[in-house]
Amino acid sequence: MQYVLAVLLFMLGAGMSYAGLKVWDNSRINGTNKQIAAMLKDAEDSAEKLRQAKVAEAREEVTRLRQEAQKDIKERRTEIQRTERKLEQKEDNLDKKIDRVSKKEDELKARHEELEKRRTALEGKIQQQEEKLQEIAEMTKDEAQELLLRKTEADASHMLGLKLKELEERAERESERRARDIIIGAMQRCAVETAGDSTVSVVPLPSEEMKGRIIGREGRNIRAFENLTGVDLIIDDTPEAVTLSSFDPIRREIARRAMERLVVDGRIHPARIEELIEKAARDIDDEMITEGESAILELGIKNMNNELVRTIGQLKFRFSYGQNVLAHSLEVAQIAGIIAAELGLDEETARRGGLLHDIGKAIDHQIEGPHAEIGAELAKRLGERPEIVSCIARHHDNLEIDSVYEVVVAMADAISAARPGARRESIDAYIKRLKDLETIAQGFSGVTRAYAIQAGREVRVILNASQTDDGAVHKTAFDIARKIEAEMKYPGQIKVNVARETKASEFAK
């Protein structure tokens, strides 16, 4: 019974609890629905307000755009009206101009007709006058015109000749002044020191006892030294010194360096002599390459064959009239570059030709022929440009000039070789050689004057025009050149220039 009562009470409590929860849920749902309805109404109201605001903004924007379009249309219409008025004015002006032109044409036509009448009358009068003149002069019109033309032509030729002479004299004066300025400027800017040398080198010794060691037992050391170097080793009474003699400066320089090292080393025997000579030869070879590279670097020259660079360095050990050939070549290159700059030419080409112009002197003791031809052949074989090859071949004016760079290099070479102090030579021997040149040239028949110029590198000969003809010019030049070759000793080449001229003078009183 108690269990039944407990179950009933539990069921009654559960039912009451369910009923209470049900009532609470219904009231909560009703409140939520009211809130949702209120939110929906608020959202609808906000959307309506936003729609109305956007519509108002759109209306305002449409109104603004309409106003702007109307304003633009109004401005365009005003501009069109203004343009129309201008066109109307132009049309009026054009009509007025056409009217004036028509009046002008009528006036010109009338004047033309009047002029035609006058011209016809004038031609009749001229014809009458010509007939009267022909009767008086007894000469036709064509004959008179021909006579007048001949006289006018003669007068014009005379005036033209005077004018041409005046222009030639003026051009000659101006060109001479300009050339003098260029040459003086080049000489002032490139007055470098020149070096002198001879065919012997002297090596100092620490003591007289060293001479015996250099000679060696039965002369084996001196024989080995001379055979390996190709120089003459002179051991005489000169105190504490030996002399090396050779016409080849490179061999002499190798021998000098080897001898100095032998003296310092003290071990003098054939094996050591050969070792030091080979080392000195390698040092000289390296020095020649270094000197060649320094020369082209100093002058700003690019892309040169390595064999040419080495040959340029070899010029350091070559001398002409006591002037170092490498120093001379550098000077010629600098002067040529200056002259080319003054004349508006390519400076690098001029400097390159100047540097290489005497390249043949580095090997002319090994190959027969003039150094200009040897150098040109070497440069051509090693890939130099044709204008550089021609500068080398023609820098002594022994061939026809083809390029202005040949003239520039020849000028620079003459400046470097002929300026005072550039080349050391006995003044007595120098003067005697110039006098001998003039004496040989003056010994030929028909020669009136002969001058040695260009430091003895050229002799200029003047023939008597009354005693010779044009055919004698070439024969005299050939004969003088052959006689100079047979009777004189001189370095390089001597150019023989022979001229025959006729002069006339008159006085206008």
3-state secondary structure 9-52: HHHHHHHHHHHHHHHHHHHHHHHHHHHHHHHHHHHHHHHHHHHH
Regarding whether 335 and 219 lie in a shared domain, the answer is: yes
- Does pLDDT of 21 surpass 80? no
Regarding whether 472 and 402 lie in a shared domain, the answer is: no
Range of the domain at 492: 428-500
Question: What's the rounded mean pLDDT across residues 124-130?
Answer: 79
Regarding whether 468 and 396 lie in a shared domain, the answer is: no
Task: Locate 56 and state its tokens.
Answer: 């108002």
Regarding whether 414 and 303 lie in a shared domain, the answer is: yes
End of a domain among 388, 418, 448? 418
Taking only the tens place, the pLDDT of each residue in 202-245 is: 888 888 888 888 888 888 888 888 878 877 888 877 788 888 87
CB 443 within 8 A of CB 459: no
Query: Is residue 137 situated within a structural domain?
Result: no
Q: Which helix (H) or strand (E) holds 495?
A: strand 495-500
Question: What's the rounded mean pLDDT across residues 466-473?
Answer: 78
End of a domain among 361, 385, 418? 418
- Write down the pLDDT at residue 123: 85
Regarding whether 410 and 299 lie in a shared domain, the answer is: yes
- Does pLDDT of 194 surpass 50? no
End of a domain among 378, 395, 418? 418
Q: Tell me the HSE value of 365 on the side-chain side, using a 13 A CA sphere.
A: 14
Cα–Cα distance measured from residue 13 to residue 15, given in angstroms and rounded to the nearest whole number? 5
Task: Locate 186 and state its tokens.
Answer: 């080049």
Return the amino acid letter for 480: I
Total count of domains within the chain: 2
Question: What's the rounded mean pLDDT across residues 57-67?
Answer: 88
**Rounded percentage of the chain residues whose pLDDT exceeds 70:** 78
Question: What's the rounded mean pLDDT across residues 356-370?
Answer: 75
Full-model pTM: 0.46
Q: 452: domain CATH number?
A: 3.30.300.20
Cα–Cα distance measured from residue 192 to residue 328, given in angstroms and rounded to the nearest whole number? 9
